[in-house]
Structures are given as structure tokens and as C-alpha cells.
Amino acid sequence: MRRQYVSLALMLFIIQPIKSVGANTFEITPTVYYFNYQEFDQNNALLNIEEGFIPGVKLSYASVAKKDSLKFNASFYGGSVDYDGRTQLGLPHKTETNEQLARIGISYSQHEETYYPGLLFVGLHYWYWDRDILTRNGVQGLHEEYSWYETEVGLKFNSKQTGHSRYWLEVSAMYNFKPEMTLFLPSSEVDFSLGSKLGYRLRAGKIWTRKGGMSTAISVFTEYWEFGRSNTVFTTDFFGSSGFLTEPDSQSFHSGIEFSFIFNL
């Protein structure tokens, strides 16, 4: 867990010296997150799928100037989803998985369409994912911990203001680098390095400006990324047996709906 705290400290160190030259905003966003994760063997056959709705919340603080803004984001999601897969012997197996995810980082956004048909934004975020596949029907569960960094670049498109509301759309590409996974065994831990690949994120919504320095918004999003097959590690501690372990190829195809409350500070 130490690397998670070090990464968070570095993010906060970057944010602290930034001073606003305009308005500041604070945003709290309850979220319904649809978690959808799949793993595949070397022949691209499906090994297992984990899916279900889990609650979440996003907190954002933005330092806003006339032409651009810098935002600190922290998102947290947690809950149980359904697991449908196979045992080590290839037998069908169903259980539940406890998922805990956190995404923390910074993003920079333009406010003027100077060189682009939309507004440019870039971001750097750190992800942490705790995956606990529960023991059921005599089949031993697995507890894993993932972490990686996400770089993102995209464009935001705003509609014209109509009354006190407007629509917006964000389209972005992202690259996850340094993805790592730790498997917790009875008396040891095994570390894996995963493959890095490109992904994408789409977000769209509507925002309403209210009286008293507050705005509300509703948005939907979808995000997709992959992790490549890991290195192979030998262990003598795999629940009473020895063997070579490899983390397979995987796909994450999540989506959600967000309800935002934005306060001018």
C-alpha cells in the first residue's frame, strides 16, 4: 500500500502551490457506476466476467481563470458485483467480487476555442483497484490489488447557452502506464507487471446555472481500456501447491451516470 500513499502525496504536492487568478469552484458528484470487467485466455476465449452496479462519489476543486482552469479530482467507487467464470480446473463457477476503486489526479482545461473546434483538456490520474473474489461453494477466492497511471487528452464541445442551461460533450483518448498487480497468497505476495494499451472515454451532459452561486448538472459516461498479459511468476505458496502464475489479458468497459452540485467559492 505504500506506493499508493506516495503517489497521492505527489499529486497533492503538485496542486498545493497553484493559486487561483479567477473564481474557484467545488463540485460534489454522486455516481452510479456500472462495473464491467472481463478476462481472456491466449486464444481470446472468455475466462470470466465481473459486472454490476456500484455507488460512487467524485470530489473536484477547480482554480478557474478567464482562459483556462486547473482541477483536482478524486473519485471513489465501491461495492459487490457478480462473478461468472471458471475454476482452475475449468469448471463453471459463480460468486461475488468486492470492488474498491479510487482515481485521483489533476486536469488542465481551455476555456477559449483558440486553435480547436472544441476546448482542449489534458489530465494525469492515478488509479487504485482492490479486487476481492469471494470464496464460495468450496472454491477458494482470490484477493488482488491493482495500480496504474492514466494520461488523458481530449476535446470538450459546448452548446450555446439557452436560458440558464447548456449541453456539453467530451471525447478523449487515454493511455494507462505502469500497470501493476499484487496477488495476496496465504503467506506471501506475488507481483505482476501488466501490459499497457490505449483506451477512450466519452462523457456528455447538461448543466443548469442556479441562483446563489450554485449550478447543477447531470451527465453520462463510458470508458474503455485494456491490460495486456503479464509476466509469468513461479510460487510455492498457491494455497498448498506450487506453479507458474500469469495474469491474463483483460478489458474494462465501465459506464455510469453522474449528478453534480457545483458551488462557486
Helix (H, G, I), strand (E, B) or coil at 32: strand
Res 6: pLDDT: 47
Sign, CA torsion 68/74/79/80: positive
Res 155: pLDDT: 94
pLDDT greater than 50 at residue 140: yes
| pTM for this predicted structure | 0.89
Cell of 163: 436560458
CA atoms within 13 A on the CB side of 126: 15
Quick count: other Cβ atoms within 10 Å of Cβ 38? 18
Q: Which domains does the chain have, with CATH numbers?
A: 2-264 (2.40.128.100)
Q: Quick one: which of 128, 132, 126, 78 has its CA closest to 100?
A: 78
Q: What is the DSSP letter of 111?
A: -
Q: Quick one: which of 223, 230, 220, 246 has its CA closest to 37?
A: 223
DSSP letters for 117-155? SSEEEEEEEEEEEEEEEPPBTTB--EEEEEEEEEEEEEE
CA atoms within 13 A on the CB side of 184: 11
Cβ(26)–Cβ(20) under 8 Å?
A: no
Cell of 65: 481563470
Per-residue pLDDT reduced to its tens digit, 228-255:
999 999 999 898 889 999 999 999 999 9
Res 202: pLDDT: 99
Cβ(105)–Cβ(67) under 8 Å?
A: no
Per-residue pLDDT reduced to its tens digit, 199-233:
999 999 999 998 878 999 999 999 999 999 999 99
Q: What is the DSSP letter of 12?
A: H
Cβ neighbourhood burial of 9 (10 Å; 0-12, 13-18, 19+): exposed
pLDDT greater than 60 at residue 12: no
